[in-house]
Amino acid sequence: MSPTPLSLPMAAAPPFGVLLVDDQQTVRDGLSRLIACTPESLHCVGTAATGAQALSAARALRPDIVILDVDLNGEDGLSLLPELLIRARVLVLTCHGDGPTRDRALRLGAGAFLEKHRPAAELLGALLRLGALGRPAGQDKTPPLQGSSSPLPMAPSSGAQGKRDA
């Protein structure tokens, strides 16, 4: 009798890391708890209340997605978009749902724009769509393997690609 082949469990794709940027602690706490309800696909990697904290956290934590408020206690959150977009996709979540604010956010490169009063399912759906887009070009979080002869990532051997592929 021949031995049965060893079946190894397929590794699940790691969740998308999300950085929460809002000046209100209760909003950050609520978003963090909402994201914690989707452990298979999203993970809160950190929070920030100011622009300086947001930029520092984005550099240190390397999130896949940043949820960004427009008004950070009088500070213009949208002014952070050029720097944040180098590192991650950005979803603008705000009370300021007026047309000019929406247009400015999207013109500056926000991947999504939602008002805070929208249902949680819309927010989670938008986050998953942004995560599926992968990281901005050239910002793969995975360091190259030692001994690799090519600076470019190798193509997968099958048609399957992980959720986090850029």
Specify the 3-state DSSP secondary structure of 18.
strand
Asked whether residue 93 is assigned to any structural domain, the reply reads: yes
* Model confidence pLDDT, tens digit, residues 29-86: 999 999 998 867 899 999 999 999 999 999 999 999 999 999 999 999 999 999 999 9
Q: Is 157 exposed, middle or buried (0-12, 13-18, 19+ CB in 10 A)?
A: exposed
Number of domains in the chain: 1
Asked whether residue 8 is assigned to any structural domain, the reply reads: no
Asked whether residue 89 is assigned to any structural domain, the reply reads: yes
Asked whether residue 33 is assigned to any structural domain, the reply reads: no
Range of the structural domain that residue 80 is part of: 54-63+76-109
pTM (2 d.p.): 0.74
The label of the residue with tokens 């603008």 reads 92
Query: String of b and e for 116-126 (b: at least 16 CB within 10 Å)?
Result: beeeeeebbeb
CA 149 to CA 66: how far, in whole Å?
33
- pLDDT over 90 at 163, yes or no: no
